[in-house]
């Protein structure tokens, strides 16, 4: 009897539009001719999880307890592994992983690995992100281990990006021009590729908008989730 594909659990709500976009990309990446050919996906989209950036900056409560609650709920519901369509939430990835017995795909790690494998090799990457990942060096630390320098916006540009992200969360996608202005300044500073390190940015900036490689964590996460769903459980052995 054919082995059933593994069940994807999406720990979402951070924010809801990014959660929906991840599911849409999983669907688009799945070869299917009928409903039954699609992957089993369980989504817990909880927008009440406390703000991640505010917590990192010491201005709000930790989102970890609420994320653990969602992770455990997804595990109980039958998820074989979890994905989190929020870059900033990965600040708590280690603690979250310890709270459940199923694996969690590391979106930051997967994005970093793809950048490091790019040919020709890249030496400098421009990062657009919320203040949380910028303050905690989530991408800086991961890429530094690969010998890749991270170029970030100025303080003024960071404020511009944060404003754009808040507007996207409110449903305003007219901020693309402002985001691309910041991207161009990163390229002028030597960036050879761009990471939209907030999943809301993935909703408005695509590969066709740039004249350089775009490493979109949301799309990378979707591809990896589909791969994992089709793989034999990491602990299983062929017989």
Domains of the chain: 8-106+220-230 (3.40.50.1860), 108-216 (3.40.50.1860)
Whole-angstrom distance, CA of residue 217 vs CA of residue 110? 8
- List, by residue number, the catalytic residues: 86, 198
pTM higher than 0.95, yes or no? no
> What is the chain's pLDDT, residue by residue, as a tens digit (239 residues)?
345 689 999 999 999 999 999 999 999 999 999 999 999 999 999 999 999 999 999 999 999 999 999 999 999 999 999 999 999 999 999 999 999 999 999 999 999 999 999 999 999 999 998 888 888 899 999 999 999 999 999 999 999 999 999 999 998 989 999 999 999 999 999 999 999 999 999 999 999 999 899 999 999 999 999 999 998 544 443 33
């Amino acid at each position: 009897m054919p082995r059933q594909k593994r069940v994807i659990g999406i720990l979402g709500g951070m924010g809801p539009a990014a959660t929906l976009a991840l599911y849409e990309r999983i669907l688009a990446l799945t070869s299917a001719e009928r409903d039954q050919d699609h992957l089993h996906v369980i989504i817990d989209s909880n927008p009440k999880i406390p703000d991640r950036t505010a917590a990192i900056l010491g201005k709000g409560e930790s989102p970890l307890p609420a994320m653990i609650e969602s992770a455990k709920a997804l595990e109980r519901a039958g998820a074989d592994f979890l994905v989190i369509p929020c870059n900033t939430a990965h600040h708590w990835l280690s603690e979250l992983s310890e709270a459940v017995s199923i694996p969690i795909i590391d979106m930051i790690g997967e994005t970093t690995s793809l950048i490091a494998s790019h040919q020709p090799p890249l030496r400098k990457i421009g990062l657009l992100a919320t203040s949380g990942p910028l303050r905690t060096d989530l991408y800086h630390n991961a890429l530094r281990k690969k010998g890749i320098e991270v170029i970030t916006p100025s303080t003024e540009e960071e404020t511009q990006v944060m404003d754009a992200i808040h507007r996207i969360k409110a449903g305003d996608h007219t901020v693309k021009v402002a985001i691309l202005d910041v991207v161009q300044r990163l390229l002028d500073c030597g960036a050879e590729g761009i990471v939209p390190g907030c999943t809301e940015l993935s909703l408005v900036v695509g590969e066709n908008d740039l004249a350089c490689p775009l490493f979109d964590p949301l799309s990378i996460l979707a591809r990896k989730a589909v791969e994992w769903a089709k793989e034999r459980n990491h602990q299983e052995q062929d017989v």
